[in-house]
Amino acid sequence: MRELTSPAAVREIINAHGFKVRKALGQNFLMDANIIDKIVQAANLSEQDLAFEIGPGLGVLTRRLARSAGKVLAVEIDRNLLPILKETLADSAGAEVIHGDALKLDFDRLASEKTGGIFGSRARAYKLVANLPYYITTPLLIHLLTGGFNLECMVVMMQKEVADRLKAPPGGKDYGSLSVLVQYFTQPEVVARVPKTVFYPAPEVESTVIRLTRRPAPPVALDHEETFFKVVRAAFGQRRKTLLNALAGSGLADKQIWTEVLGRAGLDPARRGETLSLEEFAQLANAFSRWY
């Protein structure tokens, strides 16, 4: 199979299949072999690994993954790409295409079904390696991180703006509830910055490859994890307001209660939510859990 690492090769195969690129599905096909190698190397795959891929597109990354992992499950929502993937993955015995919506997928169950129970819940962890469709990046990350899946790490390409939010420290414009969520569950690390020119068609934004390694244990002690995330979302709900006013406007509790909770947590009510560290959010959530 000819490697699809040039615009001409990509155009040739999509034209042969009468395929039309759908911007609504974030279809920007990665062509650069060096970037693909960086992604695969960052995942540190072996023949003992199961790798999920979301949005395999034309199968360029899938083919490379199949040479490194024991099994690749590539989840594609666009049925019009299935004939192309059948062709491009014909010589990749370890790769299997799943037609479905990743946002609705039980990754543990699928991993167990496809590997005879070797991977999945209460068994071996698996990895996710993908050039993510940008339109699902944030909801997919939330699904993967909060779903309790037995996921060891993710190495994913995403919009640079989103990647910057994942790594952002407290106090900056990029720091938000997604930053706290990701940093609570994982340790994010930038692998590579990626220009627009390595995609067909070229997207309107720059991209970043980021590795998210699942933490073996939470970095902070919480009384109730669900309460923690409710408090985080409330604190960022109205960024221009003080912490007290943002929390009071969330509907979780009234202003008097939040005044007392902030006092118990040792936090200045005049601060803004984006200045709180992970540890300070934990203090706030625990104080709220014990009070209310």
151 DSSP β-pair partners? 126
The alpha carbons of the chain give a radius of gyration, in whole angstroms, of: 21
Name residues whose C-beta falls within 8 Å of residue 133's C-beta, 6 or more positions apart in sequence: 25, 26, 27, 54, 55
- For tokens 């006013």, what's the residue? 245
Nearest Cα residue to 67 out of 102, 44, 94: 94
DSSP string, 177-234: HHHHHHHHHEEEEEEEEE-GGGEES--SS-EEEEEEEEPSS-SS--S-HHHHHHHHHH
76 is in an annotated binding site: yes
131 is in an annotated binding site: yes
Helix (H, G, I), strand (E, B) or coil at 17: coil
Given strand 71-76, what is the order of strands in its sheet? 95-99, 71-76, 50-54, 126-131, 151-159, 207-214, 186-194
| The two structure tokens encoding residue 117 | 């129970």
- For tokens 């960022």, what's the residue? 236
Q: Give the CB-side neighbour count of residue 116, counting CA atoms within 13 A.
A: 1
Q: Residues forming the annotated binding site? A: 28, 30, 55, 76, 101, 131
Q: Residues forming the annotated binding site for S-adenosyl-L-methionine? A: 28, 30, 55, 76, 101, 131
